Each structure stands twice: as structure tokens, then as C-alpha cells.
């Protein structure tokens, strides 16, 4: 996914007071994929698992194409 998804994700984690390290450990996602500007892509299946973890419907993610 593009950096837009990572930026949205960072906001959601902050809003829900969830450190990215906790999310990475709970879902087995490398921290590099979660960090904005890391150059690593956030894969679609990772984003779907994150949405399930945060109880957010993926179609509600405000991402511009």
C-alpha cells in the first residue's frame, strides 16, 4: 500500500493509544512496514489484519487514489 495508508494507520494507532510496537508484535508484522518513510511497503493482507485488530472496516479508510 502507499504511504497514505501508513499515515492513516499512524493516526489510528495514536488515536487509540496503541504503540506501533504492540501492533507489530501482536500481528507479526515487521516494524519497517508500519513506519512512514521507511521505504518498506505495507502489504494489503497486513492492512486487512490491522483493520480487523482495530475493528475498522477497510472500505472506510480515506485513501486518495
Whether 64 maps to a domain, the answer reads no
Separation of alpha carbons 20 and 11, rounded Å: 11
What does residue 18 show for φ and ψ, rounded to 5 degrees?
Answer: -115, 115
Whether 26 maps to a domain, the answer reads yes
Q: Which domain holds residue 15?
A: 3-55
Whether 13 maps to a domain, the answer reads yes
Whether 41 maps to a domain, the answer reads yes
Separation of alpha carbons 35 and 8, rounded Å: 11
pTM of the model as a whole: 0.80
Q: What is the pLDDT of residues 2-53, one digit of tens each?
A: 688 888 888 889 998 999 999 999 999 999 988 888 888 888 899 899 999 9
Return the ∠ at Cα 65 (arms to 32 and 34), rounded to 5°: 10
Amino acid at each position: 500500500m502507499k504511504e497514505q495508508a501508513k499515515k492513516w494507520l499512524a493516526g489510528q494507532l495514536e488515536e487509540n493509544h496503541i504503540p506501533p510496537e504492540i501492533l507489530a508484535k501482536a500481528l507479526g508484522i515487521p516494524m519497517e512496514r508500519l513506519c512512514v518513510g521507511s521505504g518498506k511497503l505495507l502489504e494489503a493482507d497486513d492492512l486487512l489484519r490491522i483493520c480487523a485488530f482495530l475493528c475498522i472496516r477497510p472500505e472506510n479508510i480515506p485513501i486518495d487514489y
